[in-house]
């Protein structure tokens, strides 16, 4: 990566108070834009395939898949609404879209990422009841309950994100209590950030993660015990065979959830640690590293469809229907994707 030796490179050369600009060669910019573009296409197209699959095929209309559908919609929106502008900010090292849109963009960024956390937490609760209390699962986790989870996740994420960004009264109160670390130069999209925000964000993002990990450990323990019991019983009748296949699907879903949570922590843990480190050490992290950690978060939204593709046979079958155009045939919505 090459940088100019000139000391007078700014985002806006003719405006006093402009932010300094990291100058990159044309080839470096093209490579970075290419990778950003690939990430955007993967995020949008992958999650769009999940949305189409769950929406179209009736056999997939279950509480679990409705939660997955909502999560895919969030990740797809992130790719459409947030990532294109983040790409320009990351490659050009400047924000050229104005202060008002900076606040709006940051609000959507925080809202969509936070909503993803809540959805993963809700999916963990759903899988917990499916594995650990299968006899009562259908009465405890209904489609109505799934929609309540979805509504609460979207609402809380929206209220939290935009209240923090737009509440001037709250900002004034924080300024009286805590130091403010902000970038005041023109051409930056780093909002005024209070020390307390780092701790609040740590809690709001990490408490659901701890819940997910606790639930998954319980799910993993129960799933292993169930697998040993089932493997020790012969499938002498059709009912036993169906029960075995259903249990196998549930255990596969539990395994997929564990991988999803693991990937989420891998992508988000460095960013959360960096947030707390900056709060404690007066925001010392270089902007290049901050942008890299942002993109680690974004890439997480592209991973979920890949996980579906590797671990869910029904998703691969649905994908074949979509790509081949069979999805437009009459009666395709009634196809049983779980049939061996």
Domain range list for the chain: 26-233+248-326
Check: CB of residue 124 under 8 Å from CB of residue 216. Answer: yes
Both tokens assigned to 104 = 């709006």
User: Number of helices (H) and strands (E), helices first, in the chain?
Assistant: 11, 2
What pLDDT does 293 receive? 85
Strand-pair partners of 194? 180
Nearest to 192 by CA among 96, 99, 93, 59: 99
What pLDDT does 73 receive? 95
Locus of tokens 């709001």: 204
By the 10 Å C-beta count (0-12 exposed, 13-18 middle, 19+ buried), 57 is classed as buried
Both tokens assigned to 330 = 């009459």
What pLDDT does 200 receive? 67
**CATH of region 26-233+248-326:** 1.20.1070.10
pLDDT along the chain (340 residues), means of 10: 53 81 89 94 93 92 92 94 93 87 87 88 87 86 94 92 65 48 66 56 74 81 68 53 54 70 82 72 72 87 80 84 88 80
Check: CB of residue 40 under 8 Å from CB of residue 300. Answer: no
By the 10 Å C-beta count (0-12 exposed, 13-18 middle, 19+ buried), 323 is classed as exposed
Nearest to 303 by CA among 245, 263, 255: 263
CA distance 198 to 174: 13
Model pTM score: 0.82
CA 325 to chain centre: 29
Q: CA–CA distance from 286 to each of 79, 83, 163, 233, 274 (Å)?
A: 25, 21, 27, 59, 11
Nearest to 190 by CA among 81, 89, 296, 83: 89
What pLDDT does 288 receive? 80
What pLDDT does 258 receive? 73
Check: CB of residue 75 under 8 Å from CB of residue 43. Answer: yes
CA distance 72 to 304: 8
């Amino acid at each position: 990566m090459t940088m100019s030796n000139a000391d007078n490179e700014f985002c806006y050369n003719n405006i006093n108070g402009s932010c300094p600009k990291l100058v990159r060669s044309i080839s470096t910019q093209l490579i970075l834009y290419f990778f950003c573009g690939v990430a955007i296409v993967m995020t949008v197209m992958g999650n769009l395939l999940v949305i189409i699959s769950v929406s179209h095929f009736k056999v997939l209309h279950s509480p679990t898949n409705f939660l997955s559908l909502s999560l895919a919609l969030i990740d797809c929106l992130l790719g459409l609404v947030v990532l294109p502008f983040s790409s320009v900010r990351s490659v050009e090292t400047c924000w050229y879209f104005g202060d008002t849109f900076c606040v709006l963009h940051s609000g959507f960024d925080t809202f969509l990422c936070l909503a993803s956390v809540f959805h993963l937490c809700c999916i963990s609760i759903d899988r917990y009841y499916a594995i650990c209390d299968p006899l009562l699962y259908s009465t405890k986790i209904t489609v109505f309950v799934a929609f309540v989870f979805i509504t609460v996740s979207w609402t809380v994420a929206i209220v939290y994100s935009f209240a923090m960004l737009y509440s001037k009264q709250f900002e004034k109160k924080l300024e009286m209590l805590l130091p403010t670390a902000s970038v005041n130069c023109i051409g930056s999209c780093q909002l005024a950030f209070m020390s307390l925000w780092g701790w609040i964000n740590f809690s709001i993002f990490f408490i659901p993660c701890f819940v997910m990990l606790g639930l998954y450990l319980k799910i993993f323990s129960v799933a292993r015990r169930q697998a040993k019991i089932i493997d020790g019983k012969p499938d002498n009748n059709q009912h036993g065979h169906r029960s075995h296949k259903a249990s196998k699907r549930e255990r596969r879903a539990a395994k997929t959830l564990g991988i999803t949570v693991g990937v989420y922590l891998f992508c988000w843990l460095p960013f959360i640690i960096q947030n707390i480190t900056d709060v404690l050490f007066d925001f010392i992290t270089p902007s290049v590293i901050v942008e890299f950690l942002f993109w680690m978060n974004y890439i997480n939204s592209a991973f979920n469809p890949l996980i579906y593709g590797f671990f869910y046979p029904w998703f691969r079958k649905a994908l074949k229907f979509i790509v081949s155009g069979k999805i437009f045939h009459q009666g395709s919505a009634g196809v049983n994707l779980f049939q061996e």
